[in-house]
Amino acid sequence: MNYPQEAPVYLTITMKPDMQYQMYYFVDELRRQLDQYIQFFNLEYSKSFSVTEFDKKFLSNLYMKDVISFFVFNFVYLVESRKYRSSIQHTNEFDKLRNLDFIFNLCLIIDETLKQAELKNQGQVNSKHFISDGIKWLCGFRQWNLSTNDLEDFWGVNQS
């Protein structure tokens, strides 16, 4: 039966486009919005990324199902709030706090994704993790092949 991968809630929370189930219209709308953001990113940074690659590299990662569902939850908020943004005045304090919460949630998603990529690259489980570790790893180890000491000197941090 391929449970839970073919359950409607699983297909929705991982944004899998399956025309066989009732929430397809909703997932299709989310994927179109995601594709628009990706196309904007591609134009802005001269990249060639796609929704299919996003599926393979992020949405299909079984080890990160909680992070993926949290991302989709926040992405649904973004899509739905953009629909009504022009008709509602967004100047109250609650709306400002909700926007800050949304940004913080995206930072947590990015941090956890970078953490998992770093751990996968190292082939180990690291019990000690700081929110800056993923960014240091992404900047240093992937682009410039810096050592841990080089990174600590660069960031001015000693995490021993």
Which residues are CB-neighbours of 82 under 8 A, at least 6 positions away? none
CA proximity to 151, closest of 141, 143, 129, 120: 141
H or E element, residue 10? helix 8-13
Structural domain range at position 118: 96-160
pLDDT tens-digit readout, 64-121 = 889 999 999 999 999 988 887 665 566 678 888 888 899 999 989 988 888 887 777 7
pLDDT tens-digit readout, 32-61 = 999 999 999 999 999 999 999 999 999 998
Domain boundary among 88, 105, 133: 88
Domain boundary among 39, 60, 88: 88
Shared domain check, 29 and 72? yes
Distance CA 76, CA 87 (A): 18
Q: What total number of domains does the chain contain?
A: 2
Domain boundary among 69, 88, 107: 88
Instruction: List the structure tokens of 23.
Output: 């929430």
